[in-house]
Chains A and B, each alone.
Chain A
Amino acid sequence: MKNLQISDEELVIKTISDSTFFAELISRYEGKLGAYLKRFGFEGKDIEDFLQEIFISVYKNLNAFDPKLKFSSWIYRIAHNYAVSVYRKKKILTFELTENLAQDLRDESDLVQELDKKVIKELVAKAISKMDYKYREILVLRYFEDKDYEEISDILKKPSGTVATLINRAKKQFKEKYNELNI
Chain B
Amino acid sequence: MNNLSEKIIEKIEKDGIFPKPKWEFLLKDTVLWVSFVLSVLMGAVSISVILFFVKTGDLDIYESVYGSVFSAVAGVIPFFWVLLLLGFSIIAFLNFKFTDRGYKMKYVYVFLTSIFLSLTIGALFFQSGMAKWFHGQLTDRLPFYDIFQPRHELKWMRPSEGLLVGVVVGFESEFVFEFKDLERKTWLVDIKKAKIPKRFRPEISSMIKVLGRKVSEEKFEAFDLRPFERPAKGLKMLLEPSF
Interface residues of A (CB under 8 A from B): 1, 15-16, 19-20, 22-23, 26-27, 30, 48, 51-52, 55-56, 59-64, 66, 68, 153, 157-162
Min CB–CB distance B105 → chain A (angstroms): 6
User: Could you say which residues of chain A place their CB within 8 Å of the CB of B100?
Assistant: 66
Q: Is the CB of A63 within 8 A of B7?
A: no
The answer to the question of B8 belonging to the interface, with a C-beta cut-off of 8 Å to chain A, is yes
The answer to the question of B79 belonging to the interface, with a C-beta cut-off of 8 Å to chain A, is no
User: Could you say which residues of chain B place their CB within 8 Å of the CB of A62?
Assistant: 19
User: Could you say which residues of chain B place their CB within 8 Å of the CB of A15?
Assistant: 19
Q: Which of B1, B5, B106 contacts A159 (CB 8 A)?
A: B106
Bound: A104/B73 CA distance, A: 57
Name B's interface SS.
Answer: helix
Question: Contacts A56-B12, A159-B106: A64 and B20 contacting too (C-beta < 8 A)?
Answer: yes
Residue of A nearest to B98 (CB): A157
Q: Which of B1, B11, B20, B24 contacts A23 (CB 8 A)?
A: B1
Residue of A nearest to B12 (CB): A19
Bound: A161/B17 CA distance, A: 38
Q: Is the CB of A159 within 8 A of B2?
A: no
Q: Is the CB of A162 within 8 A of B106?
A: yes
Bound: A136/B103 CA distance, A: 21
Q: Is the CB of A20 within 8 A of B9?
A: yes
A-B contact pairs, 22 of them (CB 8 A): A22-B9, A23-B5, A26-B4, A26-B5, A27-B1, A30-B2, A51-B4, A52-B8, A55-B8, A56-B12, A59-B8, A59-B19, A60-B17, A61-B19, A62-B19, A63-B22, A63-B25, A68-B101, A158-B103, A159-B107, A160-B104, A162-B106
Q: Which of A22, A63, A64, A159 contacts B103 (CB 8 A)?
A: A159
Bound: A52/B17 CA distance, A: 13
User: Could you say which residues of chain B place their CB within 8 Å of the CB of A52?
Assistant: 4, 7-8, 11
Question: Contacts A22-B8, A22-B9, A159-B104: A1 and B19 contacting too (C-beta < 8 A)?
Answer: no
User: Could you say which residues of chain A place their CB within 8 Å of the CB of B5?
Assistant: 22-23, 26-27, 30
The answer to the question of B67 belonging to the interface, with a C-beta cut-off of 8 Å to chain A, is no
Q: Mark B1-45, 1 if CB is under 8 A from A, else 0.
A: 110111111011100011111101100000000000000000000
User: Could you say which residues of chain A place their CB within 8 Å of the CB of B19?
Assistant: 15-16, 59-63
Bound: A48/B11 CA distance, A: 14
Min CB–CB distance B84 → chain A (angstroms): 28
The tally of residues in B whose CB lies under 8 Å from a CB in A reads 26
Min CB–CB distance A21 → chain B (angstroms): 10
Residue of A nearest to B11 (CB): A56
Bound: A158/B106 CA distance, A: 8
Q: Is the CB of A27 within 8 A of B2?
A: yes
Q: Which of A19, A30, A61, A153 contacts B104 (CB 8 A)?
A: A153
The 9 closest A-B pairs by CB, nearest first: A157-B103, A26-B5, A23-B5, A63-B22, A62-B19, A64-B25, A159-B106, A23-B1, A55-B8
Residue of A nearest to B105 (CB): A159
User: Could you say which residues of chain A place their CB within 8 Å of the CB of B24?
Assistant: 63
Bound: A90/B79 CA distance, A: 44
